[in-house]
Structure 1
């Protein structure tokens, strides 16, 4: 079993960074290629802040900025310099107990590990999942009041909800059945593509009319009520996902009324996943659990 005593034991050492003069398009390419949502920003090799999918969602997702091309936007204008909110600077020798304590108290999404003025590594919420050892059933710690959207809701509605409620991911539901999931990164990437590939005069209209179904993921990993916290953390670590919808599995007979009026494409995807054995039935939402919920259970 791996032993984590200090930050150096847990941190990712091969860190992708961006110069502050880089364009937003360069950050987009990193998000698409690596699935990374937060990247340290440097100026002449010196760490100056972090750019994230949330900063793109916040500043680029507004209708007012609709005519600005992503290729003309510099990373510097989207970089957060707020230590304690968007990142926290530590050293390789910082005790893991201290890292966990900060993560619980501040919910900071990234630790930047600095050594002699250089970035030595980073620790993210995903990395901290490796420390979750609790066997408590997730039914006891899940959020039951689930913020969600429907496939035909507008993306700008989801954007506002994420920013106002400080939510990174939203399950997409059809009458309580999980049919997709959408994240800040999904929305940020979709908005950037609209701005990059739409004639200027139509950009604002396309931003207003873009639907959740246009950007959501339909291959959703869910968990049962009796799944243990440690196993949930392992799933999220292995799959690189930030939340798990907690569901009970329903048969067609149980949900026939709700299934019959479901969009045919979405219904076909669900039925194919059931037939292939990827899921055991129609997933009825009961709650949701996030990395932050699991990190609160860490005892070191």
Structure 2
């Protein structure tokens, strides 16, 4: 069977949501919240593309000693963004974008036409190509060894686990039972609020008292082991989550299915 060819320009989001590199991080979080996204393209004064800012970078930066005792209003987008950004031409194959995301660990790629940014291609844009597919089940696609955390552990520990394991979501469990999830965005907002609301001298002690139970999303979206590829993609896309827990009928956690695992299903289907 011939493989389908889909170009980046056919699926990209346009225009991408942009922010100035000279804005403060609080404005970036507000914009992400308003648009219900976890990523922004970053522009300079001449409206040229200079970087990418994601919830993960905000979580990492605001939770680090790099900005110890610095209030959020003094931290700028330029200090947290990734530069230079990886880009892709609008006439490239969609499978190339998927391959870049998998190999480079990025969730958004600015799309270029004649050296100008004309949009962005995101994981969600690519995953929509798999909607309606039957394919493999969650049991075959999930990672049963995905890291997890318990509700009494500290939020700063959750950040460390995410960074060390390259995870973008942690299931919160009591024993085997799934209680909730913690995302990069939840941690980014938590660290921002501490830096915004508390004096510099007590920031560290305040953030270390915050536990996972305080910030987790309860009753999160889940899938079952027999759910097929189309159902999994629908759950991930509709809920805007970077990964989805796989559970049994008693809500015991069996594994986690990440977006990058789903993107891998695109490659044999759409590569030329």
Fold shared, TM-score > 0.5 on shorter chain: yes
Which moves more between the two structures, 99-108 or 119-128?
Answer: 99-108
1:107 aligned residue: 105
**Structure 2 unaligned spans of 5+:** none
Please state how far the C-alpha of 1:63 moved relative to its aligned partner.
4.3
2:260 aligned residue: 292
Q: SS at 2:254's partner residue?
A: strand
2:127 aligned residue: 129
For residues 233-260 of structure 1, give each alpha carbon's deviation from its aligned partner in whole angstroms, at most 9, with x where no partner exists: 122112212211111112xxxxxxxxxx
CA contact (8 A) 2:50 2:84 kept: no
1:73 aligns with 2:78: no
For residues 11-39 of structure 1, give each alpha carbon's deviation from its aligned partner in whole angstroms, at most 9, with x where no partner exists: 00032101111111111111222232111
For residues 148-201 of structure 1, give each alpha carbon's deviation from its aligned partner in whole angstroms, at most 9, with x where no partner exists: 111111011011111111111101111111111001110011110011111332
1:49 aligns with 2:51: yes
Please state how far the C-alpha of 1:210 moved relative to its aligned partner.
1.1
Structure exhibiting the larger radius of gyration computed from Cα positions: 1
Please state how far the C-alpha of 1:49 moved relative to its aligned partner.
0.8
CA contact (8 A) 1:63 1:207 kept: no
Distance in 1 between the 2:100 and 2:187 partners? 29
TM-score normalised to structure 1 length: 0.83
Are the structure 2 counterparts of residues 90 and 178 from structure 1 closer, same or farther at C-alpha, using a change threshold of 3 Å? same
CA contact (8 A) 2:71 2:200 kept: no
Distance in 1 between the 2:115 and 2:24 partners? 25
Please state how far the C-alpha of 1:82 moved relative to its aligned partner.
4.5
For residues 52-94 of structure 1, give each alpha carbon's deviation from its aligned partner in whole angstroms, at most 9, with x where no partner exists: 11222222202463321111111111111154xxxx3112211
**Structure 1 unaligned spans of 5+:** 251-282
1:201 aligned residue: 201
Distance in 2 between the 1:219 and 1:93 partners? 41
Are the structure 2 counterparts of residues 246 and 204 from structure 1 closer, same or farther at C-alpha, using a change threshold of 3 Å? same
Distance in 2 between the 1:185 and 1:233 partners? 20
Aligned length: 262
TM-score normalised to structure 2 length: 0.91
